[in-house]
Each structure stands twice: as structure tokens, then as C-alpha cells.
């Protein structure tokens, strides 16, 4: 009887212990679940906060781009060279960063690492379409040129450019050429134009890189399909086509004498605006920067000559080419093309050596010398033809290059990273934005492409 009594107590004790264990497990599971939900909710909240911080950076960069009202865009502009484009504290452990910490955007762009970059500094296959329609590709072994020509020939791009037609995805067009990943993306696997922790660690993680703290981009760093220029001058006025303009339209520029107009009409058609220059020009004639004051001075001088000539009856007008000075000052207002839009022109003031080599066919030494001369100028070139002042290109090369370059940029890539320090969560947003006002558009800018992704911050020391 006593044994049965102890046996029952033992069973009750075991049941109590088992019940206690089950309760403990349930409580532990509940605590873990609550803790997991709390961590998860914090991560979600961190993502949301970091996301809005990143978009704050995008809006900040767009506002700076819109505030830049220069008629000529160069790496000296605040949008490329301002120390303010770094990290911004929004308070409450929130921040956003644009570009590379400790570097100005100009430095970042030149090393291929940037949070804001100029799409017009990239090669656009559209630039070769008309050229390829009338003659075979030039003898240029540059692989970037070969790729751009292949895209132009096989992608179905229209010869009649329309900015309202959706732009194809350049990544898909490159993929159709069956190129290796490292050729397309280089070390920039996520195409954010910035060095991430996994892009500076050698072969430890994807993608493979050389761990030199410099971002080696692939073809995507140097190609675009977004860029175009309206066939207008810096004031937004339609350019005068020297191949079709009437005498009165040429005279309306205010910078041509009657003899100059006769010469232009007698010698057209022109295949380059630079054909208005004499083949005997010298680099020294292109050194003085083009300014509005000099344009106004030329107009006043022409007006004075015309007034004096009006007092001479039956004066014979002698055909004569315009002076180098007159052509340089007039260059922004004239065109040889009747199209409304000119796709693919590259900004000579922001372009890098790889793109310029592919665009022009110049060897790398010549390109480096040309860009070195550009960088010695305080605000870049003030006339496309002023590349001749570098002294490293010929007259024939000038004729070809000036129709492929511009001094203005309206399309930009922006990368902004928002960070929530409370949760160590980050959110990166990449956009391509245009400050060109498309027909029928009321907004001063348009986002043409956008991608975004969250990630955890890592300590890379």
C-alpha cells in the first residue's frame, strides 16, 4: 500500500515536472517569437526610415541639378564639384549620402566612383546611326566603339529620334551581344557607381575585384541611350541651319556681314559647322573663351559696318568667309542638321578618356593630352570647336569631332544611400533623371529609370 502511495506521488511529480517543462518551453517560444517579431518590426521600420532618407538624398540632388542654370556644364559646376554632396545628417540617427565620402564629385567621377554622374559623358550608340546609314564603320579597334556600333546596327534603333518613345534597356541590348558579366559590369555588380564592401575585397566575395580601392567599371559605366540635345542654342532658340537658311535668316544672327552670307550660300552644303573655319587656322585663335559680352561686341561691330555701308550707293558686296572669331561666337546658334533632336552628343567638358577614344577614334595619348588641356581651363571649353586650341588634333579631325560633342548636359544618374543607425539598415536608390522638359510635361524634371534595394550596413575596416 505504501509502495502504491509513493508510486502515485512519483507519477504526479513527473506530471508536474513535465507540465512545468512544457510551460517553460511555451513561455520561451512566446518570448522568442515576440523578440523575433520585435526584431523584424524594427528591421521593417529601419527599412522604411532608410528608404525615405535615400529618397531625400535623391530630391536633394535633383534640386541642386535644377538650380544649376549654367549654359555650359563642366566638372567645375557645383553639381559635380560641391563638398556639400557628401553625407547629410537628418537627425534621429537618420542620414543620406550621395557620392563617395571624403571625395568631391569631380574627383569621384574621374575615378569612376560617383553618386551623381553625367549621362552625357557616356557613349550613346545613337550618335553613330546616321553615320552608319551612309558609310561603313570607321577603322576603330576600340572595343567600346565596336560594341556601340553593334548595338546601333542590330538593336532596331530608329534613325528618326523621338524623345517621347520609350528608350530600350541598354543592359538587355548589351546582353544580346553575349558578353561576359565582368565585361558588362566590371567590379560594379549592382551598377550603383560606388565601391561597396564586396567590390573591394579581392576574390573573397562576388564580384571578383583587384582590391585597389578604385571601382573598375564595365561597359555599362560608359554606355547610355538616354541622351539627346534639342537643336537649339543656349537660350532655347532654334538653331539656324546654315545649309538651308535664307539670306535674311543668316543676317538675323547679327554676327555675319553680307559678304559672309554670300560666301556661306555659295559654299554649302556643309557637313560640319567647322567647315566655316579656314583650313589654315591655328590653335592660338581659339584660346580666348567665348562670352556673351564678346558676342554683343561683335553684333555692335557688324551693325556699325552695315550702317556705314548703307550710306554708300551701289556698293558691290564681295564674298568672303567669316573670321575665326565670328564663327566661334556664332557656333552655338548654327547647325547643319534639320532634325529637331540630336541624340547622343557627348559633353566634352565631362567626358572621360575611354568614351572620348571610342567616340573619336583618337589614340589614347592624344585623348589624354586633349583632356589634360581641358582640365587646365577653369570652366572647361566654351565652344565645341575650342578643342582645336589643345594643339593635338588636326583640322580634319576637328571637322568630324565637333558634330559629336556638346557643352550641355540634361541627363544624370543619381545614387543615394539612406541609413538608419538605430537598426543598421540601409536603402539605396538609383535613378536616371532628366532636366529637359519634354513636350506636354509641366514638371521641371522627369525620372526616366529607378531601382532600389535594402541592405545591412557592414564595417569594412
HSE, side-chain direction, 13 A CA sphere, residue 383: 29
Quick one: pLDDT at residue 107? 42
Quick one: pLDDT at residue 272? 95
Judging by beta carbons within 10 Å of its beta carbon (0-12, 13-18, 19+), is residue 20 exposed, middle or buried? exposed
Quick one: pLDDT at residue 15? 72
Quick one: pLDDT at residue 390? 95
Report the candidate in 380, 399, 122 with the shortest Cα–Cα distance to residue 278: 399
Assess whether the previous peptide bond of 207 is cis (omega < 30° from 0): yes
Quick one: pLDDT at residue 209? 83
Residue 97 — very low, low, confident or very high, per pLDDT cuts 50/70/90?
confident
Provide the percentage of residues in the chain whose pLDDT is more than 70. 86
Residue found under cell 507540465: 19
Which are the contacts of 283, defined by CB distance < 8 A and separation ≥ 6? 388, 389, 390, 391
Least confident of 188-192, 231-235, 408-412: 188-192
Residue 310 — very low, low, confident or very high, per pLDDT cuts 50/70/90?
confident
CB atoms within 10 A of CB 278: 14
CA distance 336 to 346: 17
Cα three-residue angle 242-243-248, rounded to 5 degrees? 55
Asked if pLDDT for residue 4 goes beyond 60, the answer is no
Judging by beta carbons within 10 Å of its beta carbon (0-12, 13-18, 19+), is residue 102 exposed, middle or buried? exposed
Quick one: pLDDT at residue 29? 65
Residue 8 — very low, low, confident or very high, per pLDDT cuts 50/70/90?
low
> What digits encode the pLDDT tens for the residues 250-287?
999 999 999 999 999 999 999 999 999 999 999 999 99
CA distance 302 to 254: 7
Asked if pLDDT for residue 358 goes beyond 60, the answer is yes
Asked if pLDDT for residue 90 goes beyond 60, the answer is yes
Asked if pLDDT for residue 123 goes beyond 50, the answer is yes
Element (H, E) at 173: helix 170-175
Asked if pLDDT for residue 429 goes beyond 70, the answer is yes
Least confident of 14-28, 63-77, 256-270: 14-28
Asked if pLDDT for residue 47 goes beyond 90, the answer is no
> What digits encode the pLDDT tens for the residues 191-218?
766 677 787 888 888 888 888 877 778 8
Residue 231 — very low, low, confident or very high, per pLDDT cuts 50/70/90?
very high
Quick one: pLDDT at residue 383? 96
Assess whether the previous peptide bond of 85 is cis (omega < 30° from 0): no
Asked if pLDDT for residue 184 goes beyond 90, the answer is no
**Positive or negative: CA dihedral 436, 441, 445, 446:** negative
Quick one: pLDDT at residue 16? 74
CA distance 197 to 204: 11
In the numeric block, which cell numbers belong to residue 329?
561666337
Least confident of 39-53, 239-253, 261-275, 359-373: 39-53
Residue 121 — very low, low, confident or very high, per pLDDT cuts 50/70/90?
very high
The chain-wide mean pLDDT, for the chain, equals 84
Provide the percentage of residues in the chain whose pLDDT is more than 90. 42
Average pLDDT for 119-127: 93
In the numeric block, which cell numbers belong to residue 273?
559647322
CA distance 116 to 108: 9
Residue 388 — very low, low, confident or very high, per pLDDT cuts 50/70/90?
very high
Quick one: pLDDT at residue 2? 56
Least confident of 173-177, 328-332, 341-345, 427-431: 173-177
Asked if pLDDT for residue 461 goes beyond 70, the answer is no
115 compared with 415, residue with greater pLDDT: 415
Asked if pLDDT for residue 398 goes beyond 70, the answer is yes
Average pLDDT for 339-366: 93
Amino acid at each position: 500500500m505504501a509502495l502504491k502511495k509513493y508510486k502515485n506521488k512519483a507519477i504526479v511529480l513527473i506530471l508536474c515536472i513535465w507540465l512545468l517543462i512544457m510551460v517553460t518551453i511555451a513561455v520561451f517560444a512566446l518570448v522568442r517569437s515576440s523578440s523575433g517579431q520585435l526584431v523584424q518590426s524594427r528591421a521593417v521600420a529601419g527599412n522604411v526610415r532608410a528608404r525615405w532618407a535615400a529618397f531625400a538624398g535623391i530630391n536633394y540632388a535633383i534640386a541642386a541639378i535644377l538650380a544649376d542654370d549654367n549654359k555650359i556644364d563642366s566638372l567645375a559646376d557645383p553639381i559635380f564639384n560641391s563638398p556639400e554632396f557628401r553625407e547629410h545628417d537628418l537627425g534621429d540617427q537618420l542620414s543620406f549620402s550621395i557620392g563617395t565620402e571624403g571625395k568631391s564629385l569631380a574627383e569621384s567621377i574621374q575615378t569612376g566612383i560617383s553618386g551623381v554622374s553625367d549621362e552625357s559623358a557616356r557613349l550613346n550608340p545613337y550618335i553613330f546611326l546616321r553615320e552608319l546609314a551612309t558609310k561603313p564603320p570607321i577603322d576603330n579597334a576600340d572595343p567600346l566603339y565596336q560594341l556601340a556600333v553593334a548595338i546601333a546596327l542590330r538593336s532596331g534603333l530608329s534613325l528618326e529620334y523621338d524623345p517621347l518613345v520609350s528608350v530600350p534597356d541598354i543592359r538587355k541590348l548589351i546582353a544580346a551581344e553575349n558578353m561576359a558579366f565582368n565585361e558588362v559590369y566590371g567590379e560594379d555588380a549592382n551598377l550603383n557607381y560606388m565601391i561597396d564592401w564586396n567590390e573591394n575585397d579581392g576574390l573573397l566575395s562576388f564580384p571578383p575585384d583587384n582590391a585597389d580601392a578604385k571601382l573598375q567599371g564595365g561597359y555599362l559605366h560608359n554606355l547610355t541611350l538616354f541622351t539627346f540635345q534639342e537643336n537649339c542654342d543656349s537660350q532655347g532658340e532654334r538653331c539656324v541651319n546654315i545649309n538651308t537658311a535664307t539670306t535674311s535668316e543668316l543676317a538675323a544672327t547679327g554676327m555675319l556681314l553680307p559678304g559672309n552670307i554670300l560666301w556661306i550660300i555659295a559654299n554649302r552644303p556643309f557637313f560640319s559647322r567647322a567647315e566655316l573655319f579656314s583650313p589654315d587656322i591655328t590653335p592660338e585663335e581659339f584660346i580666348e573663351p567665348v562670352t556673351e559680352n564678346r558676342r554683343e561686341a561683335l553684333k555692335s561691330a557688324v551693325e556699325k559696318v552695315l550702317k556705314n555701308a548703307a550710306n554708300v550707293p551701289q556698293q558691290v558686296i564681295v564674298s568672303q568667309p567669316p573670321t575665326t572669331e565670328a564663327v566661334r561666337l556664332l557656333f552655338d546658334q548654327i547647325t547643319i542638321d534639320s532634325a529637331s533632336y540630336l541624340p547622343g552628343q557627348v559633353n566634352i567638358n565631362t567626358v572621360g578618356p575611354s568614351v572620348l577614344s571610342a567616340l573619336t577614334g583618337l589614340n589614347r595619348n592624344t585623348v589624354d593630352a586633349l583632356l589634360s588641356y581641358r582640365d587646365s581651363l577653369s570652366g572647361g571649353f566654351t565652344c565645341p570647336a575650342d578643342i582645336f586650341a589643345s594643339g593635338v588634333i588636326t583640322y580634319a579631325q576637328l571637322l568630324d569631332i565637333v558634330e559629336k560633342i556638346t557643352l550641355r548636359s540634361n541627363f544624370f544618374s543619381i545614387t543615394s544611400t539612406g541609413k538608419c543607425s538605430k537598426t543598421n539598415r540601409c536603402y539605396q536608390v538609383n535613378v536616371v533623371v532628366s532636366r529637359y522638359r519634354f513636350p506636354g510635361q509641366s514638371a521641371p524634371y522627369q525620372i526616366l529609370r529607378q531601382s532600389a534595394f535594402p541592405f545591412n550596413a557592414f564595417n569594412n575596416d
